[in-house]
Each structure stands twice: as structure tokens, then as C-alpha cells.
């Protein structure tokens, strides 16, 4: 495990845990190498791509700096990639930072005042910025100006500082957490959806080409089906399957090779990994299917609340295996089936009551 605890990208760090076995050092380098470089190469997200294409083309035609862009969506869907594409399409440099990295308004002032004209400022996890920094950002986004406070106490004075026009690209996994005044200052909001299996197959074929791995249609489909709608996971699984194919087969990836490899890495046929099954297993075996509180469930699997809530649950909910109810987390009948367990038969209420058996 070499998660960089000082790294700015908590979403990606949480996301690392999706494939435990994959925490090797070359990870980020390979990921960067697989990033599409322009909008045409970017697979799927038709709506966001079309809208963004218009925003960028129009700005270019006017010779202007593009409007501020907010990208929202789950980890690994391509927010960082799109921010780089925006800069590339505008022929602009890009500066990358994140909400948690900006502790004080002064940190933000230093970044803003050193931007070049037209530069793209990528602010990852923008929902985790401090309040004072956020307020400074409002003025910077709207008027391209910041007030730098000099001195302390009653003698403090605000010195206005003009900024060159720039494009803020904010990324968030939780658009709902953004204060409305901040949300309203973005000229365009792109919501990234989970990818369809056929789109993930395209991502996998593209990555296989770049990695120089031979893969057939069924092999790609097998990996796509276990990738939870997420390109980052598709790319990770592809690399693990490649390892297996090189060691245990002739290097070529077909369906049996992909299935066997993913079995070794404990990614099941529906894409559940060790953590997902641990959460579901605890819910079923220790708490009879629930309802149980999130904190209790997290302690039971030895993970942070946040990890269970943000990494495992969204996928389990999406798959119809777990429900969040006012009384706590509850397993659905499909969860029992998926883990091959039989629900306890204590007549009356329990799950049957909630799901009408
Ligand atoms: N639409 C896409 N087409 C091809 N590859 C993609 C796409 N979206 C994401 N990826 C790949 O998935 C990985 C994660 O994408 P990233 O932009 O870092 O996601 P996020 O910032 O939303 O967490 C990158 O390596 C990138 O190559
Ligand atoms: Mg990112």
C-alpha cells in the first residue's frame, strides 16, 4: 500500500481501495499515459462532451477565455481527464490543485495572482475548500479580482488585486454539497454519468492498444462487465488481467483468461470487490440483513465510515443490493442471493416487511 497521505486527491485515494491488490507504484504513471488527450478520444459522456465542445469552440471563436466549468460525478469517471482536455483544447496551460490543499484564503490568493491569462485552474474536490477561500473565489470567478488583506486586527486593510481572465474547472463528487452561490458562478456544469458496458469496452480496447496487449471482444466484455461503470476501474482490471495472461497464459486476453484473472483478484462477476463483499457479508451475517447504522457497519468491516459510505455503498445501492433507509442500512433480497446465503426466517417483520418479500 503506497497511498500518498499528503496527496491532494482523496477521492482517488479512496478509490484505490476498489482494487486492493493494485496499489503498485507505477499506477499513476500508467493512468496518466492512458488519459485521452482531446475530446474526440474521450469515450462516452455524449451529452457533456457535446455541451463542452460548444462552450470551448465558442470561446475560441471569440478569442476569449472559456467560462468556468463544474464537473460532478463519482471517482474515476474522467473529471481530471476532462479538465486537462479543456486546457489542451483551449491551448492553455493548466494549474492543478484541490480544495483540501487550500487551507487559507492566502493560499488561494497566491495561486490566483500567479495565473497567466487564459490559464485553466483545476480545483479538484472543490466542495472541501475552506469557507474564507471559498468567499475569495466568488469574487475571483465573477470579477477577476481578489482583495488581499494586509495587516491584522483593526489596522488591516484590503488591497484589491486585478487578476487575468482564467477558467476555473472545479471537480466534485458531491455537487449537492456546493453552496449555491458557488454553483451559480459556473457558466457550465457537466454531470458525469456511469458508463455503459459497451462504452467501457471501447475504453478497454483503446487502453489495450496503448499498452500493446492483445484482447478479443469477449475478453473486453468480461472486464467491462466487472468494472462498475467506471473507466478507472476498467483500466486497472485490464492491467491485472494482462499480468495474469502473461504469467498463466500466452499473453492474449480472451473471456476465460479474463474471468480466471479477475477471480484471482477477488472481483466477482458483478464487479463486487473484497470491500463490497465484506460490507454486504457483515450486513447479512452479523446484522441479519439490517437495518444497521453506518458507523456500526463500518466498525464491523474495519473501515472508515467515509470509505463504506463513499466507496462501497453507492455501487451496492446502484446494483440494488443495499438500501439506505431512515432506520439504517438494509440488505435487499438480491444481496442474500448474490452471496449465496439464506435470510433468517423469524416470522413477521424484518426485511420481508420492508421489501414485501
Ligand atoms: N471517457 C473516457 N475515455 C477513456 N478513458 C477515460 C475516460 N474517462 C476516464 N478515463 C480513464 O480513467 C482514468 C481515471 O480518470 P480521471 O479523469 O482521473 O477520473 P476522475 O478525475 O473523475 O476521478 C484515467 O486514467 C483515464 O484514462
Ligand atoms: Mg480526479
Instruction: Count up the domains in the chain and report the number.
Output: 3
Of residues 327 and 103, more confidently modeled: 327
Atom of ligand 1 nearest to the CA of 231: 12
CATH of the domain at 181: 3.40.50.300
pLDDT-based confidence at residue 147 (cuts at 50, 70, 90):
confident
pLDDT reading at 333 higher than 90: yes
Both 82 and 219 in one domain: the answer is no
80 CB under 6 A from ligand 1? Answer: yes
pLDDT reading at 26 higher than 70: no
Question: In the prediction, which pLDDT does 210 show?
Answer: 95
Span of 27-36, 255-264, 302-311 with lowest mean pLDDT: 27-36
Both 231 and 162 in one domain: the answer is no
Interval between CA 252 and ligand 2 midpoint (Å): 31
Q: How is residue 196 written as a grid cell?
A: 455503459
Question: In the prediction, which pLDDT does 5 show?
Answer: 37
235 CB under 6 A from ligand 1? Answer: yes
Which ligand ends up closest to the CA of 9?
2
CA distance 275 to 280: 9
Q: How is residue 34 written as a grid cell?
A: 492512458
pLDDT tens digits along 57-94:
999 999 999 999 999 998 899 999 999 999 999 999 99
Interval between CA 283 and ligand 2 midpoint (Å): 30
User: What residue spans of 94-147 are helical by DSSP H?
Assistant: 105-113, 131-143
Residue pair 219/258 in contact (Cβ under 8 Å)? The answer is yes
Query: Which of 191, 211, 235 is the endpoint of a domain?
Result: 191
Max distance between CA atoms of the chain, in angstroms, equals: 74
Let me know if residue 355 belongs to a domain.
no
Q: What's the whole-number mean pLDDT along residues 3-30?
A: 46
75 CB under 6 A from ligand 1? Answer: yes
Let me know if residue 233 belongs to a domain.
yes
CATH of the domain at 312: 1.10.10.10
Which residue segment(s) compose the domain that 161 sits in? 35-191
Amino acid at each position: 500500500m503506497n497511498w500518498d497521505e499528503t496527496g491532494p486527491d482523496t477521492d482517488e485515494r479512496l478509490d484505490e481501495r476498489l482494487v486492493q491488490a493494485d496499489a503498485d507504484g507505477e499506477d499513476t504513471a500508467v493512468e496518466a499515459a492512458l488519459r485521452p488527450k482531446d475530446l474526440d478520444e474521450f469515450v462516452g459522456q455524449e451529452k457533456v462532451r457535446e455541451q463542452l465542445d460548444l462552450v470551448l469552440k465558442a470561446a475560441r471563436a471569440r478569442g476569449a477565455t472559456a467560462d468556468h466549468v463544474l464537473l460532478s460525478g463519482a471517482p474515476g469517471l474522467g473529471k481530471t481527464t476532462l479538465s486537462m482536455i479543456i486546457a489542451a483544447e483551449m491551448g492553455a496551460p493548466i494549474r492543478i490543485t484541490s480544495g483540501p490543499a487550500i487551507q487559507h484564503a492566502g493560499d488561494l490568493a497566491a495561486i490566483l495572482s500567479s495565473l497567466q491569462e487564459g490559464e485553466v485552474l483545476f480545483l479538484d474536490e472543490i466542495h472541501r475548500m475552506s469557507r474564507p477561500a471559498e468567499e475569495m473565489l466568488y469574487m475571483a470567478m465573477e470579477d477577476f479580482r481578489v482583495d488581499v488583506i494586509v495587516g491584522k486586527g483593526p489596522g488591516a486593510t484590503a488591497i484589491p488585486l486585478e487578476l487575468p481572465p482564467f477558467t476555473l474547472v472545479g471537480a466534485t463528487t458531491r455537487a449537492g454539497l456546493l453552496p449555491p452561490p458557488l454553483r451559480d458562478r459556473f457558466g457550465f456544469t457537466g454531470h458525469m454519468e456511469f458508463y455503459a458496458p459497451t462504452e467501457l469496452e471501447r475504453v478497454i480496447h483503446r487502453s489495450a492498444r496503448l499498452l500493446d496487449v492483445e484482447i478479443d471482444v469477449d475478453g473486453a466484455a468480461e472486464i467491462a462487465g466487472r468494472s462498475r461503470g467506471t473507466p478507472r476501474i476498467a483500466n486497472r482490471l485490464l492491467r491485472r488481467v494482462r499480468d495474469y495472461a502473461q504469467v498463466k497464459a500466452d499473453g492474449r486476453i480472451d473471456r476465460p483468461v479474463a474471468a480466471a484473472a479477475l477471480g484471482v483478484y477477488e472481483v466477482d462477476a458483478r464487479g463486487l470487490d473484497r470491500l463490497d463483499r465484506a460490507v454486504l457479508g457483515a450486513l447479512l451475517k452479523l446484522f441479519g440483513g439490517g437495518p444497521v447504522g453506518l458507523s456500526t457497519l463500518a466498525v464491523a468491516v474495519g473501515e472508515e465510515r467515509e470509505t463504506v459510505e463513499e466507496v462501497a455503498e453507492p455501487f451496492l445501492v446502484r446494483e440494488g443490493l443495499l438500501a439506505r433507509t431512515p432506520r439504517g442500512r438494509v440488505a435487499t433480497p438480491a444481496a442474500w442471493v448474490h452471496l449465496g446465503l439464506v435470510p433468517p426466517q423469524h416470522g413477521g417483520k424484518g426485511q420481508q416487511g420492508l421489501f414485501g418479500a
